[in-house]
Amino acid sequence: MDSGKTHHHHPQMYYYTYGPHAPALRVSPGDTLVTTTVDALNIDETGREIPRQCRQTSPDTSFKEFNPLTGPYYVEGTEPGDVLVVHIRQILLTRDFVNGGAAFDGGGLAWGISAGLSLGPRTPTPESKAYSWRIDRDQGFGNLELPDSRVGRVKIPLQPHFGCIGVAPAWGQFISSITPAQNGGNMDCVETAAGTTVYLPVFVRGAYLFVGDVHAAQGDGELCGGGLDITAEVTLELDRIPAKRIEWPRMENEEWLMVAASARPLMDAFRLGQVELIRWLEQDYGYDPLDALHLITQVGTTRVGNVVDPQFTVVAKFPKRYLPEGESPSHP
Amino acid sequence: MDSGKTHHHHPQMYYYTYGPHAPALRVSPGDTLVTTTVDALNIDETGREIPRQCRQTSPDTSFKEFNPLTGPYYVEGTEPGDVLVVHIRQILLTRDFVNGGAAFDGGGLAWGISAGLSLGPRTPTPESKAYSWRIDRDQGFGNLELPDSRVGRVKIPLQPHFGCIGVAPAWGQFISSITPAQNGGNMDCVETAAGTTVYLPVFVRGAYLFVGDVHAAQGDGELCGGGLDITAEVTLELDRIPAKRIEWPRMENEEWLMVAASARPLMDAFRLGQVELIRWLEQDYGYDPLDALHLITQVGTTRVGNVVDPQFTVVAKFPKRYLPEGESPSHP
Amino acid sequence: MDSGKTHHHHPQMYYYTYGPHAPALRVSPGDTLVTTTVDALNIDETGREIPRQCRQTSPDTSFKEFNPLTGPYYVEGTEPGDVLVVHIRQILLTRDFVNGGAAFDGGGLAWGISAGLSLGPRTPTPESKAYSWRIDRDQGFGNLELPDSRVGRVKIPLQPHFGCIGVAPAWGQFISSITPAQNGGNMDCVETAAGTTVYLPVFVRGAYLFVGDVHAAQGDGELCGGGLDITAEVTLELDRIPAKRIEWPRMENEEWLMVAASARPLMDAFRLGQVELIRWLEQDYGYDPLDALHLITQVGTTRVGNVVDPQFTVVAKFPKRYLPEGESPSHP
Amino acid sequence: MDSGKTHHHHPQMYYYTYGPHAPALRVSPGDTLVTTTVDALNIDETGREIPRQCRQTSPDTSFKEFNPLTGPYYVEGTEPGDVLVVHIRQILLTRDFVNGGAAFDGGGLAWGISAGLSLGPRTPTPESKAYSWRIDRDQGFGNLELPDSRVGRVKIPLQPHFGCIGVAPAWGQFISSITPAQNGGNMDCVETAAGTTVYLPVFVRGAYLFVGDVHAAQGDGELCGGGLDITAEVTLELDRIPAKRIEWPRMENEEWLMVAASARPLMDAFRLGQVELIRWLEQDYGYDPLDALHLITQVGTTRVGNVVDPQFTVVAKFPKRYLPEGESPSHP
């Protein structure tokens, strides 16, 4: 697949749903794609909001869009039932600032609760604060002043990753860019970083790949609803596995086989991820499924991606050192 | 609104997503619409499957569509932020048979658990059975033989209602016809019956009303995943309330004010419905919201519509006899 | 069983856990028990708090006890694996006032969320109000003034029932009187009213029956955390079914077979209740379980008892008119 | 606290509930306790089942007890409202074998679903297998043959930890040894290992500390319901913090501040853990709570302890490198 073409693409239009919109570019398995993303709040690398005419606006003009998506990329030759392979080669941050926030929702913390629970004018305004991070791209750190806290300031390591990576969903749906699902989407997982290969189920001819919402860093669960939202130039190498059935996005890197399942309640996402992981070990690595379940019980790791999106994302992980010897990183 | 036109429409095309598809008909507030629906399994009143060219087929041809929708009806003059009012005047069943089923999912009952949990070839085939109901439309009963059970046969009263009634959703999404959400959709509630007025939030200019999936009867929760699926001729009178904010479908009939909220987990649907009901009592009937909460605690009723769809539906109900005296059935 | 003795018992001690405490009285199957209960807030029929020495105080003196329980009644001859049958003959209210309240928890409604979510001193004090109901015992109505609401006042029908009815739990546990579980307990269900027979699984020799927390009325879910808490004189007739396995409290009255399952999340309570109901129809009434599932899907009713206790309670209900003909109200 | 006495205790009786049973030993803050535990299935270090007379048997003799507990240890001077400090100094495994299993529950994986969902005789027997691990205590590895899988055998690193560590609960309850709660209990967390200090809220004078259910290793979630169950000799150093309010067990080691919250649904455990962690950072380390929330969003880690017990356990973790400089590992 290294013999493919390299496409340099700069988006002219951003989308807020996953679906078979007019392709921004047609690429082939084996090709490499270099493109850019703006941040989750529609701000570009210079700090300017992307203009209205560059957004696929919703018919509902009252809506404030989040998570503008770069794409869609039509991958020639992909058919429903195939797997789209996305090798994430590089996520290069393209600015030095991040603006984020935190808010308590009155009597509790709002995360994990569907929007719409508050009682309007009678609800006390939730306390909230804004935070300005300085991103040191050379050293790979984020710096934040915290004058209200005894610690004063913190410096954290960066781990750039996609908040959003996905394809057109099943059944003719167009799914919001804030929602993760079987087609990937807004999974908000640190695992979708450079060095990871993402395997996405193809539901529509051409796959229609979208990316966006790069974070410079994020903790487990994305509690406040936002990681360190930033802009990036990203390099992806694409491939195709024909006629391979996967139910959920699968990922692998040097160390892990991983499944990212998205559902509500949180427990369903947990279950669905484990079952898909067991299936993977059975299909590709010759594990008896009961053996796989017993072994995952002892050595498996599970990370919570987000508990704030319309579906929550859980990543079930299996250490590759327990694969049969000599079985190299491979297809899902 | 009684001065409107009456439109007789026979669908030529059925849809499997809610969204701004090409309108089947343009109608105005005050108009009456008489149309027909086929059953959830794509079978018409003669027992024939509707032909492929009459379905808006998904790009994913492997998909078996359910819940074909009649519509969309573009309602002139409706804007995002309005409420679409649908008076359900009549649901007339148009055939005498219903084919349904029941299935246990191996070690438990599958309902309420996201699809995809089973382990493929290792899963024992779930036990399942098919059931053929005879519908006595004159007397309003459904009859079923149960030779494997001591009771032998049962005869149940019919209560025809829509499984699906909804409008185009927010944010440019096209949502599957199996999913209930803020735009209504596959709520599977017995309350959407003749005599009920449904209030739907408008997200897209023209509203884009769809109906379908009529059931001759259904119990709470739709445990097996299907009520008594049947075909119907339905009569709807439409109206518009300008610039009125509602978060979830509201309904009322002679006896009840009702809110149908759809979410996962079930508890979120429960909460969201109660909060919207309290809001309604405050906005339109002068209730102090704490008074409303305290009174609902003592006299409110909550019915579970479905626990089998991608989102679960809960109906929060307030008896109209506790509204301020002289306040007649009215707008939401 | 009508030939049994009638015991008149006036409690000297109230308990706050279900478990094999020293019996207040020993009774036999067939006997009738007439006793009294105080309200959930430890207030008796005269408006006085029950004295400290009449409460089985917790070693944790910082704890404010709720739901004082009358009992335990040791039922001679009952063994683990039996069913204790409690015919509720009468619940006679013994005072004319109820003090209740309502509270919003800052940014949302707290129900269904575990205690402990608020952020202490930073949490705005939730809005709350107190309500004084006047109970008209002769006419069977509760009356409430609502000066802050346009309705002004409401009058609601009473339906006296037990908030708490249960036995000693399994495994040597002593479970709090605010928790419902397989042993019954704080189910907060309107179904535990006069005319209902309750079937409780026996886990400990002697069963150890407790009752308490009578409500004059309550809506679905007990949203605020309290129905119309009141005192009562109650008449119970007891019986025993030997060696009959039931998983959850079962109930029946003239119209319904019912199962009350308590769990978190709400969906688990829902599922557990339906499965036990299907089992009951199979064991005692000759239903094929798939037939039972299919029929419950069409005619079953499900009521939510509470969504505010440490476990939520759901009542799955089957109409007795669909039992085999001639099968009278009977044992579980 | 190093000046305390060292107690060597060998249990004569094992308990299956947390509560104020007759103390096995009275110790003082500052003392060190060396004792032993048997495995979760009542098997001792020689492979023999502990005799019936050494178990506090339930009145329900049909019950198969799990998780026999060593204790209780009465800690002199501790009062409700205090914190019991348990420094885990050593967990020394005392045998070389572990017997475990795995089972699929028919149509799905049973974990996370309350027991009692299956349909009795009609449920296909779940597939299950047994596994015999050889424990290499010198090298710190567990070895398992997997003849049915292509991998053949696996060798995993050991990380001995308590499945059970807890005190008598609030409100006079006696809670089962299979249940985790605010008093600790069956949390099944790898974090309760040597090198960790556990802070437990005291609800009953004397605290009544219990330990048991040591695992040689366990993955996230304990999916099958059992880690590598084993026997151990354990060394604990005890201390007391007077009049300090904590809601959930807190832990710390060299790297992390941690809170272990247990609830259902899983999302509630997640939320409760994060809120307690924010509180801790505010109370003891001078964090503004919004700053703490924002920072946890970017650098916090959350691990799922178990999703198989009556309550699920989630561990919210904060890296100690973001504490104010010079603030050493300290009290909760």
Q: Is the ipTM of this complex over 0.90?
A: yes
Strand C175-176 vs strand D17-18: parallel, antiparallel, or unpaired?
unpaired
Of the candidates C104, C129, D283, D270, the residue with the CA atom closest to the CA atom of residue A107: C104
Q: Which residues of B touch C149 (CB under 8 A)?
A: 286-288, 291-292, 324
Q: Considering only residues A99 and A146, tell me which one the structure prediction assigns the higher pLDDT.
A: A146
Judged by CB atoms closer than 8 Å, whether chains meet at C111 and B271 is answered as: yes
- Tell me what pLDDT residue C63 has: 57
d(CA B248, CA B260): 6
What residue type is B196 in one-letter code? T
- Residue B284's H or E segment, with its range, is helix B266-285
Q: What is the mean pLDDT of residues D11-24?
A: 96
d(CA D232, CA A309): 43
Q: Which residues of A touch C109 (CB under 8 A)?
A: 117, 119
Residue with the two structure tokens 């039972």: C292
CB of D265 within 8 Å of a chain A CB? The answer is: yes
Residues of chain C with pLDDT under 70: 1-2, 58-64, 103-127, 328-332
Judged by CB atoms closer than 8 Å, whether chains meet at C110 and A109 is answered as: no
What residue type is D39 in one-letter code? D
d(CA B279, CA B287): 9
Q: What is the mean pLDDT of residues B20-43?
A: 97
- Whether the CA torsion D7, D8, D13, D18 is positive or negative: it is positive
Q: Which residues of D touch B108 (CB under 8 A)?
A: 105-108, 110, 113, 117-119, 123
Q: Check whether D62 has a pLDDT greater than 70.
A: no
Cis preceding-peptide flag for A249 (omega within 30 of 0): no
- Tell me what pLDDT residue C119 has: 32
User: D135-192 pLDDT, tens per residue?
Assistant: 999 999 999 999 999 999 999 999 999 999 999 998 889 999 999 999 999 999 999 9
SS3 D97: strand
Q: Check whether A120 has a pLDDT greater than 80.
A: no
**CB contact residues (below 8 A), chain A span 33-62, against chain B:** 56-62
Chain D CA closest to residue B116? D108
**CB contact residues (below 8 A), chain C span 217-246, against chain D:** none
Phi and psi of C293, rounded to 5°?
-60, -45
Nearest CA to CA, how far is C297 from chain D (Å)? 17
User: C42-97 pLDDT, tens per residue?
Assistant: 999 999 999 988 998 765 555 568 899 999 999 999 999 999 999 999 999 999 99
Structure tokens that stand for B241 in this block:
């309330």
CB of D63 within 8 Å of a chain C CB? The answer is: yes
Q: Dihedral, CA atoms, B45, B48, B52, B54, nearest 10 degrees? A: -20
Phi and psi of B298, rounded to 5°?
-95, -30
- Tell me what pLDDT residue B310 has: 86
Query: A260: number of CA atoms within 13 Å, CB side?
Result: 33
Cα–Cα distance list, A300 to A92, A278, C187 (Å): 31, 11, 38
Least trusted range by pLDDT, from A233-242, B108-117, C155-164, D218-227: B108-117
Chain C CA closest to residue A112? C113
Judged by CB atoms closer than 8 Å, whether chains meet at C151 and B294 is answered as: no
Cα–Cα distance list, C84 to B25, C9, C15 (Å): 63, 19, 20
A64: Cβ contacts below 8 Å, ≥ 6 apart: none
- Tell me what pLDDT residue A100 has: 82
- Tell me what pLDDT residue A62 has: 52
Q: Which residues of C touch A271 (CB under 8 A)?
A: none
Helices and strands (DSSP H and E) totals, chain D: 2, 21
DSSP codes, A118-154: S-GGGSPPPPEEEEEEEEETTTTEEEEEETTSTTEEE
Chain B CA closest to residue C155? B322
Contact C234, C37 (CB under 8 A): yes
Judged by CB atoms closer than 8 Å, whether chains meet at C104 and A117 is answered as: no
Nearest CA to CA, how far is B240 from chain C (Å)? 26
Edge-first strand listing for the sheet containing A197-201: A6-8, A32-37, A232-241, A83-93, A197-201, A250-252, A256-263, A312-319, A301-306
Contact D180, D264 (CB under 8 A): no
Q: What is the mean pLDDT of residues B304-322?
A: 94
Please report the domains of chain A, with CATH numbers, ordered by start residue: 6-94+159-322 (2.60.120.580), 97-157 (no CATH)
- Tell me what pLDDT residue A65 has: 83
Chain C CA closest to residue D269? C114
Judged by CB atoms closer than 8 Å, whether chains meet at B110 and D106 is answered as: no
d(CA D234, CA B143): 68
- Tell me what pLDDT residue D111 has: 35
A9: Cβ contacts below 8 Å, ≥ 6 apart: A24, A25, A33, A34, A35, A73
Beta bridge partners of B30: none
- Tell me what pLDDT residue C328 has: 55
Of the candidates B140, B297, B300, B111, the residue with the CA atom closest to the CA atom of residue B220: B111
- Tell me what pLDDT residue B128 has: 76
Beta bridge partners of A6: A32
Judged by CB atoms closer than 8 Å, whether chains meet at A60 and B247 is answered as: no
- Tell me what pLDDT residue A106 has: 37
Judged by CB atoms closer than 8 Å, whether chains meet at C323 and B151 is answered as: yes
Of the candidates D111, D102, D17, D98, the residue with the CA atom closest to the CA atom of residue D57: D17
Least trusted range by pLDDT, from B227-231, C38-42, C120-124, D20-24: C120-124
Nearest-by-Cβ selection for C203 from D60, D174, D279? D60
Interface mutation vs chain C, best among A114, A127, A266, A307, most C CBs within 10 Å:
A127
Least trusted range by pLDDT, from A253-257, B268-272, C108-112: C108-112
Q: Which residues of B touch D109 (CB under 8 A)?
A: 117, 119
User: D118-131 pLDDT, tens per residue?
Assistant: 333 333 345 678 89
Q: Dihedral, CA atoms, D198, D204, D209, D214, nearest 10 degrees? A: -70
Q: What is the mean pLDDT of residues A179-207?
A: 97
- Tell me what pLDDT residue B308 has: 84
User: B57-86 pLDDT, tens per residue?
Assistant: 765 555 568 899 999 999 999 999 999 999
Cis preceding-peptide flag for B68 (omega within 30 of 0): no
Q: What is the mean pLDDT of residues A183-200?
A: 98
CB of C271 within 8 Å of a chain D CB? The answer is: yes
Long-range contacts of B58-63 (CB under 8 A, 24+ apart): B58/A170, B58/A171, B58/A172, B58/B16, B59/A20, B59/A80, B59/A168, B59/A172, B59/A203, B59/A204, B59/A205, B60/A80, B60/A170, B60/A171, B60/A172, B60/A203, B60/A204, B61/A80, B62/A80, B62/A81, B63/A170, B63/A171
Q: Which residues of C touch B102 (CB under 8 A)?
A: 290-291, 293-294, 297
Long-range contacts of D44-50 (CB under 8 A, 24+ apart): D44/D231, D45/D94, D45/D95, D45/D231, D46/D95, D47/D95, D47/D97, D50/D14
Contact D68, D212 (CB under 8 A): yes
Judged by CB atoms closer than 8 Å, whether chains meet at D119 and B113 is answered as: no
Of the candidates A315, A284, A320, the residue with the CA atom closest to the CA atom of residue A301: A315
Residues in chain A: 332
Beta carbons within 10 angstroms of residue C162's beta carbon: 29
- Identify the band that residue A93 occupies on the pLDDT scale cut at 50, 70 and 90: very high
Helices C289-299/C266-285 angle, 10° precision: 120
B182: Cβ contacts below 8 Å, ≥ 6 apart: B169, B170, B201, B247, B248, B249, B262
The model carries a pTM of 0.93
Q: Check whether A108 has a pLDDT greater than 60.
A: no
Structure tokens that stand for A17 in this block:
């749903």
Chains linked to A by 3 or more Cβ pairs within 8 Å: B, C, D
Q: Which residues of C touch B223 (CB under 8 A)?
A: 274, 293, 296-297, 300
Q: Which residues of C touch B131 (CB under 8 A)?
A: 294
Beta carbons within 10 angstroms of residue B64's beta carbon: 8
- Tell me what pLDDT residue B111 has: 36
Judged by CB atoms closer than 8 Å, whether chains meet at D272 and C175 is answered as: no
Q: What is the mean pLDDT of residues A183-208?
A: 97
Q: Check whether B264 has a pLDDT greater than 90.
A: no
- Tell me what pLDDT residue B117 has: 32
Judged by CB atoms closer than 8 Å, whether chains meet at B297 and C102 is answered as: yes
d(CA C112, CA C114): 6
Contact B270, C112 (CB under 8 A): yes
Contact A314, D302 (CB under 8 A): no
Residues in chain B: 332
Task: Report the percentage of chain A scoring pLDDT > 70.
Answer: 88
- Tell me what pLDDT residue B126 has: 52
d(CA A138, CA A161): 17
Chain C CA closest to residue B103? C290
Nearest CA to CA, how far is A273 from chain C (Å)? 20
Q: Considering only residues A292 and A59, tell me which one the structure prediction assigns the higher pLDDT.
A: A292
- Residue B157's H or E segment, with its range, is strand B152-157
**CB contact residues (below 8 A), chain C span 131-160, against chain D:** none
CB of D123 within 8 Å of a chain C CB? The answer is: no
Of the candidates C327, C45, D254, the residue with the CA atom closest to the CA atom of residue B149: C327
Judged by CB atoms closer than 8 Å, whether chains meet at A265 and B265 is answered as: yes
d(CA C310, CA C58): 18
Of the candidates D209, D228, D206, D196, the residue with the CA atom closest to the CA atom of residue D165: D209
Q: What is the mean pLDDT of residues A233-251?
A: 96
User: A316-327 pLDDT, tens per residue?
Assistant: 999 999 999 877
Contact D241, D85 (CB under 8 A): yes
Beta carbons within 10 angstroms of residue D125's beta carbon: 9
User: B6-15 pLDDT, tens per residue?
Assistant: 999 999 999 9
- Tell me what pLDDT residue A171 has: 85
Q: Check whether D204 has a pLDDT greater than 70.
A: yes
Contact A72, A321 (CB under 8 A): no
CB of B21 within 8 Å of a chain A CB? The answer is: no
Beta bridge partners of C133: C98
CB of A304 within 8 Å of a chain D CB? The answer is: yes
CB of C129 within 8 Å of a chain A CB? The answer is: no
Q: What is the mean pLDDT of residues D254-282?
A: 91
Phi and psi of D143, rounded to 5°?
-120, 135
Q: Check whether A99 has a pLDDT greater than 50.
A: yes
Contact D201, D184 (CB under 8 A): no
Q: Which residues of A touch B172 (CB under 8 A)?
A: 16-17, 56-60, 174, 176
What residue type is C130 in one-letter code? A
- Tell me what pLDDT residue C61 has: 54
d(CA D150, CA A282): 10
Distance of CA B118 to the CA centre of its chain: 28
d(CA B48, CA A288): 45
Of the candidates C129, C165, C174, the residue with the CA atom closest to the CA atom of residue C35: C165
Nearest-by-Cβ selection for A219 from D289, D301, D324? D301
End-to-end CA distance of chain A: 16
**CB contact residues (below 8 A), chain C span 164-223, against chain B:** 217-223
Nearest-by-Cβ selection for B107 from D118, D265, D267? D118
Alpha-carbon Rg for chain A, nearest whole angstrom, is 20
